Amino acid sequence: MLVILRSVKLFKVKFEDVRKAYVYFGFNEEVVVLLRYFHPTNPLGNYYFPILNFVMGLEYNPKLSIDNIGNLDLVTKLGYRKLINSLPEWMLANNETIKLKKQILNKVPSLFEMSRYVFQKSLQKFHNIKDCNQFVKVAESLSRLPSVLKNNICQELPIYFDESVS
């Protein structure tokens, strides 16, 4: 994961990188990190068809089903949203499921979701946290924070720990 995180800062992420990571790892943190740094271009021609085929293949992933899409963490939702939104509307015109997913993903995240993510990143930066175990220990040590909030903060940990936040 650290190799991927460092690489995306040095090299432009291409769709082929995302696709290969998916083949190797499945739809997990590595693919989400690549999607975060993937910036689709807007050329004409056959550029969109590999992305469309990839998105259609993701339809068989239960993690990305309509019923489960609301349970994804904020960063994963944003990565999947970027992928779906990189396709022109006319390509999705006949696919009601993807159009519905697009509507769900384009809704503004709740204030609670956004604040949890910002709080996690701030905690990570302030305490110079490098991994999940360290994050949980620091969160548990926050004596003035109610247990309910500590549990919620630790439920959806940051999916990667960026060394640049220190």
Determine the number of helices (DSSP H) and then strands (DSSP E) in the chain: 10, 0
Residue 7 predicted with pLDDT over 70: no
Greater confidence (67 vs 114) lies with 67
Nearest Cα neighbor of 99 from 117, 85, 78, 115 is: 85
Instruction: Check: CB of residue 69 under 8 Å from CB of residue 97.
Output: no
Amino acid of residue 51: I
pLDDT single digits (tens) 96-136: 998 889 888 888 777 777 788 888 888 888 998 888 888 88
Output the pTM of the full model: 0.65
What pLDDT is stored for residue 1 in this prediction?
Answer: 52
Nearest Cα neighbor of 52 from 106, 17, 89 is: 89
Q: Which residues neighbour 155 within 8 Å (Cβ) at sequence distance 6 or greater?
A: none
Q: Which residues neighbour 92 within 8 Å (Cβ) at sequence distance 6 or greater?
A: 84, 98, 99, 102
pLDDT band at 51 (very low <50, low <70, confident <90, very high): confident
Nearest Cα neighbor of 33 from 49, 53, 17, 52 is: 17
Mean pLDDT of 29-50: 76
pLDDT > 70: percent of the chain: 84
H-only helix segments in 26-61: 29-37, 48-58
